[in-house]
Structure 1
Amino acid sequence: MSTEPAFEPAKSPAAAPRPGPDAALRAGLWLLGMLALAGLVSSLLLWQRLSSIQEQLARQSADAGAQSIEARTLAREAQELARDTAARLALTETRVAEVALQRSQLEELMHSLSRTRDENLVVDIEAGLRLAQQQSQLTGSLQPLVAALKSAHQRIERAAQPRLAPVQRAIAQDLESLERAKVTDTAGLLGRLDDLVRQVDELPLLAAVARPHDMRGAGQLPEAENPPADEPAWRALLRRAWDGARDEARGLVRVRRIDHPDAVLVAPDQAFFLRENLKLKLLNARLALLARRTDSARADLQGANAALAKYFDPTSRRTQGAIAALSQLQGHIQSAELPALDNTLAALATAAAGR
């Protein structure tokens, strides 16, 4: 057997370590990082783009909303303008109809000018009487009617036409009826209503409890007897104390008839509003008289009368006087209707027809 040492070949440079899987992994990671960075950058750019698009959409939506609101406003204004135009058109048509009616009346009046003298006189008198009726209704006075009838009577007398004699007799009858008619003195009624309004604060309520000295002043408690001149001082002092205690005891318990129990439960703060409500009813009646609305005035006076009878002390002279004044006012308003000139107008119509 040979004892030579075994020969080991020397390591050549070609046997250097080759890049293994670690280098490939690093390259892959680096590539993934670059891709991730690129994806992140693209995501940021895309997010920024989406944000700008979203802002643009929001602005467009706001602009669209504003335009929608403006469009609705314009549509509403257009509708209002259309309604206004329709109303004006209707008013214009009404005025045109009135003008046409007035034109027809003027044409009829022009035709009547070509009639005879008697027919013209009848038409003129009738127009004057109707105008006087309107003036009387507006003013509440009979003077326009009386003046128109007297003027018509004088004109018929000057005409001296036998066929107008029935008209003259009818005018005389209507003049007599006007002289017998009773017309409401509006100025006097307004003054009495003002007096009642001023008296409302002084009217005693049914819920108010009178004091002993007030009851004595009203005659509900007897006056104390006059002491003798030679009465001792101590006896006078005892007598006054006794009278005071007796009056207080009598004032503690009061028995009377109450038709409306809820009227006694009116609180002091409600009393103010109750009086103000009564004043408003009287003022409404005053306005109704000025506007010639007799039905409304009667209703307001009836409501005020009911409130007086329900919530105020009926035994008080002031309350009784106020109720009596309201009753008188209602009576005057009921007789405020103006008489009609039926006889004269019927006679004029007969004369105009030629019968």
Structure 2
Amino acid sequence: MTKQAPPAEQINSAMPETVGAPAASSHNSVENIISRMSIMKMVLAVVLVVFLWQWFDTHLQINNMQQELARRLAEMDGNNKANQVLMTQVKESMRELSVKVGVLEAHSAEAQNQRAALESLYQDLSGSRDETVLAEVEQMLLIAGQQLQLSANVKAALIAMQQADDRLKRMDRAALNGLRKAISRDIDKLRTLPDVDVPGINFRLDNLIAEVDTLPLVQDIAHVPQEKNVIMTTPVREEGAWQRLMREIWEDMKRLVRIENMQKRELPLLSPTQTFFLRENLKLRLLSARLGLLSRDQKSFRHDLQLAQEWIVRYFDAKSTSGARAVTTLQKLRESSINIEMPDVSASLEAARNYRSSLGKGLR
């Protein structure tokens, strides 16, 4: 409870004494003030100080919050602009992607149409594929038979039949085993044939034809008497002019007559025109021998080689290097055998035709 203030008369009566008295010290005045203050006033003062401090702190926090809010608003504004730019780019990308997706869908539809067309075409062709393979095999076997009959080319016929067997092997059909066995039997027949070196013989004939123009004729050979070699080897003695003249006249007189034993019938001299036709006829005879070789006509081949050898021995110098080599080559060629009995391979061809006609539908 608060104390009541003294009456005004007491204050007024006491003031003259106070004024007249000397000023009290500062310490006494403070104590008087404190003593005069009531407890409520002190509480009010403390509350006021606390309120002021809280108001200042709150005002400071509000300022900080305003600055932070302004900063964040600025960042949000910048992020918003960046997001708008990004959204614009995303929209453009989506537009481009939509265009590309449309193009891909169009290509996909076209590819599906092409695939459907190819599947239908493959289905159409798969039915006739086996018949096509059989037709090819039949054609290969026919070629093999023609090579054997026309040119007796065993190697080409063997290659054609092996290719036909490979085509049947890739088909892997049990129904074609009989045809493959027939082809294998004909292949074994061709492999057992003796090998004739037709290219080697042909090469030798070509060399002989090329050497015909260089073969020396018998009439072109210069026979030198043996006495000449003796005279050339004997040393020349010192002799006078008359002796040398008489010796040269005697040597010229001895060369006027030459006696020689040819031991064979003398051939008449050939003119240049006859020499030309002789060489050309020899070439034609060798070419005829080549035709006999390619047609495997052994009788004609040996006859032409025999005539060519006789012509070389009769009209050409068989003792020279080229002449002896030509005679030896012709003799070796005459001894070679080119006649080979070709086997019959029509069984495989007939089997292929039968399979094509009877098993065509069953193979599908």
When the two structures are superposed, what TM-score results if normalisation uses the length of structure 1?
Answer: 0.44
- Whichever of the two has the greater Rg, that structure is 2
Q: TM-score, normalised by structure 2?
A: 0.43
